[in-house]
Copies of this chain bind each other. A is one copy, B any other.
Amino acid sequence: MNAYHPHAADHAFVLFDVLLAHEHLAELPAMAEHADTALLTQVIDEAGKFVGDVVAPLNRSGDEIGAQWKAGAVTMPPGFRDSYQAFWQAGWPSLACATEDGGQGLPTVVEAVLHEMLNAANHGWTMAPGLLHGAYECIRHHGSDALKARYLEKLATGEWLATMCLTEPHAGSDLGLVQTRAMPLADGRFALSGTKIFISGGEHDLSDNIVHLVLARLPDAPPGPKGLSLFLVPKFETDGTRSAVHCERIEEKMGIHASPTCVMRFDEAAASIVGEPGKGLNAMFVMMNAARLLVGLQGIGLLDAAWQKANAYAQERRQMRAPGSGSKAGQADVIALHPAIQRTLGTQRAWIDAGRVIAYRTALELDTQKHHPDTARREAAARWCSLVTPVLKSAWTEQAFSGASACLQVFGGHGYVREWGIEQHVRDARVAMIYEGTNEIQAIDLLVRKTLPDGASALQTLLGELAADSAPDPRTRQALQAFSAFVREQVVPQTSAGDTAPGQPFWLADDFLRALALLLMAWAWGRLAAAPNVDASAHADFWRWVWPEFDMRMAMMKTTLSVGQPRPAML
């Protein structure tokens, strides 16, 4: 029904009025020429027009018709090829790629805004270019000169699309179980054999070639993750011959029907190695923060699209008198006046606006990490990206699903039928809690891999930075101090004691991530509240309806620390 419409000014507001992105970018020599508010605003405006005019109108039909598989070929829904061709030819994939590779050298945050809009408009469509930038970075950092010469510009411009072939039927979260084999060939290449599943865009008709990045195991490789190497297999070789990689079928899924989720079979497919043998996971991890940031932005975009629909409906639909509205008996008010609806919409707005601040800040930090001349600033940026990215990915994809469901509820029975398009958002959003590392994996990443090993030193520094930046709001500062003390006095000592049950950090992880998400939101709302003309009601909604979860998470963590291993590690 009413499609999502990008509001470029709202994005620019967060970028410039709240985050002062131009000041951050001016510190980066590589970006200084782009630290121009007018230029960046114009790019965002144009992005909004393209997304709104070209991509958003294909969302509904993309869901209903979906990608179609026949005899190994995949036909995308009507309009998808043409719109994708227009997309790359207009230069949108190359925004943040290096100019020497045919890119435009713009800051990562502009690409972040574009992807948020794209996902809000059409999640299925956006899956196709979603992995492009990651593949580009992977080849750029790890590819041989020959691979770069052949693929880098094609990937930078998006003329060719890319996949990541990681998962196998028995190897999902645990990539150490990957069985696909790579046998050396006489010409220095490798013959790849195995089956990969859940390959987004493994086959389609959007682009003239598809570049597969594949995790596989050399003959002499040790078992486990250290035995994995990364390979490149193009759909078509330079001479036009088709590689021995086949799309066996596509999955029937809950949502994102426009994105073909492929089972890919490699039958001794000729492959080039990317990076060093046994360093396959390293080569993929280089792009992980960026990829997870994009998934977090999916969450924000999907939630914003659902909010837009529900908000518009609530302004039109009339049911019953709202308390205190002054309407006469028998009159029906618009449901936007009813408390339950106001709470629902205000809560989602509080998540969307704070999420944007956190995500755009993270995108700015990605560029700072790459380009800042000062080592300490680069390290601080790396710390932010490392700790904040899993929080953003997990908490905002969770909210995209539960919040889209809350927006569906605004429609009552009309939300459950397809007519208004709100139920599609709920179905689409669900996948983002799973891919690019499940939300449970994100929580383990944050606490077990990134916080506890250095005794929470990096985290404490981040908390201090947030506190220093939250001076005007005593609630935020107090909460940051309380959390910091809790981590220092309880979490670290109790999980590092030799006699602690080994599972305890894993039992803590989910609540720990949620607590940090709420602290980041409190910081973000402090930044928003300091900006001119901010929506004060969404700020109040944050403290009233979202923040109280913080104490609950703290209580749950204290219980976990007090009970030790909650049950024996047995069935």
A contacts, CB < 8 Å to B: 167, 170-174, 176-177, 197-198, 223-224, 251-255, 261, 315, 318-320, 322-326, 329-330, 332, 334, 336-340, 342-343, 401-402, 405, 408-409, 412-419, 423, 426-427, 430-431, 433-435, 438-440, 443-444, 501-503, 505-507, 509-510, 537, 540, 544-545, 548-549, 551-552, 555-556, 559-560, 563, 565-567, 569-571
**Bound CA span A431–B438, Å:** 26
Would you call B409 and A435 a contact (CB within 8 A)? no
Residues of B within 8 A of A337 (CB): 569-571
Residues of B within 8 A of A173 (CB): 319-320, 412
Which B residues lie within 8 Å of A560 (CB)?
Answer: 544
The answer to whether B571 and A559 touch across the interface, beta carbons within 8 angstroms, is no
In the complex the two chains form, is B556's CB within 8 Å of A552's CB?
A: no
Q: How far is the CA of A360 from the CA of B559 in the complex (A)?
A: 32
**A329-B224, A537-B567 as given contacts; A324 in contact with B501, CB under 8 Å:** yes
Contact A343 B510 (CB under 8 A): yes
A418 and B430 CA atoms in complex are apart in Å by 13
Chain B residues lying within 8 Å of A544, measured Cβ to Cβ, are 556, 559-560, 563, 566
Q: Are B431 and A412 neighbours in the complex by a CB distance under 8 Å? A: no
The answer to whether B413 touches A342, judged by C-beta atoms less than 8 angstroms apart, is no
A499 → chain B closest CB, angstroms: 13
Question: How far is it, in angstroms, between the C-alpha of A440 and the C-alpha of B251 when the chains are bound?
Answer: 36
In the assembled complex, the CB of A251 is this many whole angstroms from the nearest CB of chain B, namely 4
Bound-state Cα–Cα, A565 to B544, Å: 13
Q: A224-B329, A324-B565, A338-B506 are in contact. List 6 more A-B contacts (CB 8 A).
A: A172-B414, A173-B319, A323-B506, A340-B444, A343-B510, A423-B430
Query: Which one, B413, B427, B505, contacts A434 given CB within 8 A?
Result: B413
Are A172 and B566 closer than 8 Å at their CB atoms? no
Closest-by-CB residue of B relative to A418 is B252
Contact A434 B417, CB 8 Å, known A324-B502, A337-B570, A540-B566:
no
Which residue of B198, B405, B434 is within 8 Å of A430 (Cβ)? B405
Contacts of A537 in B (CB 8 A): 567
**Which of B417, B540, B571 is in CB contact (< 8 Å) with A251?**
B417
Contacts of A415 in B (CB 8 A): 434
Q: Which of B197, B340, B566 contacts A509 (CB 8 A)?
A: B340
Query: In the complex, which residues of chain B have a beta carbon less than 8 angstroms from the beta carbon of A176?
Result: 320, 330, 332
Decide: A340 near B440, CB < 8 A? Known: A177-B319, A324-B503, A423-B254: yes
- Given known pairs A544-B556, A556-B548, the reply for A409 and B440 (CB within 8 Å) is yes
Name the residue of chain B whose CB is nearest to the CB of A319: B174
Contacts of A323 in B (CB 8 A): 502-503, 505-506, 569
Q: Is the CB of A433 within 8 A of B412?
A: no
Query: Contact at B416–A438, with CB atoms within 8 Å?
Result: no
Q: Is the CB of A416 within 8 A of B556?
A: no
Which residues of the partner chain B approach A329 to less than 8 Å between Cβ atoms? 224
Q: How far is the CA of A501 from the CA of B419 in the complex (A)?
A: 37
Q: How far is the CA of A339 from the CA of B510 in the complex (A)?
A: 10
Task: Give bound CA distance, A501 to B198, whole Å.
Answer: 54
**Nearest residue, chain B, Cβ from A227:** B330
Pick from B325, B434, B567, B570: contact of A409, CB below 8 A.
Answer: B434
Q: A175: shortest Cβ distance to chain B, in Å?
A: 10
Closest chain-B Cβ to A407's Cβ sits at a distance in Å of 12
CB distance from A198 to the nearest CB of B (A): 5
For A540, what are the chain B residues with a Cβ–Cβ distance below 8 Å? 566-567
14 contacts between A and B (CB under 8 A): A172-B413, A174-B320, A177-B319, A224-B330, A252-B418, A254-B416, A254-B426, A324-B501, A409-B433, A540-B567, A544-B566, A548-B552, A548-B556, A551-B555
A510 contact set on B, CB distance < 8 A: 340, 343
Listed residue (A324, A337, A545) with the most chain B CB atoms within 10 angstroms of its CB: A324
Q: Is the CB of A409 within 8 A of B198?
A: no
- Expressed in whole angstroms, the Cα–Cα distance for A306 and B96 within the complex equals 43
From residue A62, how far is it (CB to closest CB) to chain B in Å?
A: 15
* Contact status A431-B443, CB under 8 Å: no
Using Cβ atoms and an 8 Å threshold, which residues of chain B touch A431?
416
A509 CB contacts on chain B under 8 angstroms: 339-340
CB distance from A264 to the nearest CB of B (A): 14
Q: Are A412 and B434 in contact (CB under 8 A)?
A: yes
On whether A507 and B417 interact (CB within 8 A), knowing A330-B176, A545-B556, the answer reads: no
Q: Let me know if A416 and B401 touch, CB within 8 A.
A: no
Q: Hey, which chain B residues are within 8 Å of A506, CB to CB?
A: 323, 338-340
Known: A253-B418, A338-B506, A566-B544. A405 touches B401 (CB 8 A): yes
Alpha-carbon distance A197/B537, docked complex (angstroms)? 36
User: By the criterion CB–CB under 8 Å, are B408 and A430 in contact?
Assistant: yes
| Cα–Cα, bound, A505→B509 (Å) | 37
The answer to whether B430 touches A172 (Cβ under 8 A) is no
Q: How far is the CB of A209 from chain B (nearest CB, A)?
A: 26
Is there an interface contact between A417 and B252, defined as CB atoms closer than 8 Å? Answer: yes
A545 cross-chain contacts in B, Cβ below 8 A: 556
